[in-house]
Structure 1
């Protein structure tokens, strides 16, 4: 179905509405074809999930491959993870309900699974009543045995994979790693936005997933590619947008995928046949205004030191030494120790992130709003 606005804010439709990522897609395909698991990481809203679904679209051309996706951000325990994994996979490769029931009986009978049916689609779902660590281990083993029994190659993408580190079951990493390394034709893409956690899982020699995956950092889309993509969709709709205004969009949003898409979505949605400077400014200001209540609420949730540090980082655009004397003096911040504590809190709240030794405000719109204060 063709969208009314080609600049999608969420979801994936087809390659026509997906910008660039040719090299990244090729790299992921190569890893999977050569049976390498991959850890995909980047800042939030840079386009990781859309890339995964674009990869899924490409994999559909290979009929011998089955692809599964699950987002585990909402899971809080290993049991919830296992049930979500089972729901995403079990029965989805079986063309008939009786085939699914037969395989459930073969692999999971001893685990007493509960089978329910989606009232809208009629699709069967399996739920496991896991009560002990032993049952959790057995269930994981059987789910992967079920996958190994398939005649197809299987690709499983687990989004926000770092969430397993917050489970009360401290052995989750070791349990998953022990089972995954046994698989011969099942490969994984682990993705997430908590870069330091994912890198710690892969880079710390004492951790179960140490050097077990290919690391892939998703960068921002090339500005020339993005510029062509934006111009193309406006032109196809019989609308005009000058190159200067496209450059302004990419500069104002810092080339960050979600924010580029959002600004272009608003401009396109205006219905204007010709985008001019006045309209550009109006749209950008309206975006900041529509989020203003949320931003003022942040002020109430943060300490004075955290708020002042957040504002200072936004005004600098990027900061290499937020605890440095010159930076602290320029913005009249607290002592270096207090700034360090505030910085740690802002990173934990995912309001600030660090990349290549520099610190940035996570939300580009928030950063632009703070600049105006």
Structure 2
């Protein structure tokens, strides 16, 4: 602070007796008896150029006066930090080595030794904690709370790091960049070099992620094995992805997993493309069953429904042929055998349509049988009439 000089010898030019403070210092003083200040209920005022800058009130409050007069330094508050030559406005530095390189940057807040130490032109940053944002040079609108949080090098914009070594980025170089990341917890996202839109919540969540975008890790050590990857969601203590460099995976508590839009519950054996052993493509794999009160299955026009059985041109197998087929195969036509069902499972929608088809065929058989019975009954009645005559 060029214009604000705390003058320890404010009584210059007065008597050099033992009751006064000399510009060159005093000797023979007794702590407690000799002091610099007032003995009445009045503030102690410090001036330069006859302008009041600092006031120490009787209650011990330190007030900075006249700081809004258009001068660069006078719009900043620096205590044991900051840069007297700064032209940026609205900076606050409290702590040895904090914000000592600021030049044109403004609106920065640094609390703690070496907080925001090298930042020169960055704006709107908040660093609270020893070495927080220690190596940030030109980043903007970042928030770092905790020892070593966000202290890596490179260009940082709109990141939030809360916790010891959160988003520490120890190995990042000046050419690296990271923006819009959020890390909450001890060492969360602390290896990030280049990446955007990542969120880590929990102790050491996504702690080894070096390069990647749009990843979410929630829970202690969640996604700790992920080094490079995009669009992964890992939730739960110790949950991991299937590899160190994967994309589009989901893991919730090691019970619900996803891979490129394919979801598995209770199983990690998911085909990457959703194609199962039967050659069909599925979006959901569930182990050990599903219990629900209601299931609705959409029927696409391409799948059809079984009502074509009632069309006039439908060829219904005669009962004798059906009997022979059953004797030979031990199951109805088109219906999977026991062996096939066990080996390949059944497709619920297709099976329901097939069962409906068999019911409708059975209905036609019953209708035909009923017609034959009615015809036989009519003939019997006619015979009875002839006999009575």
TM-score normalized with structure 2 length: 0.19
Which is higher, the Rg of structure 1 or of structure 2? 2
TM-score normalized with structure 1 length: 0.20
| Structure with higher RCO (Cα < 8 A, 6+ apart) | 1
Q: Which is helix-richer, 1 or 2?
A: 1
Q: Which is strand-richer, 1 or 2?
A: 2
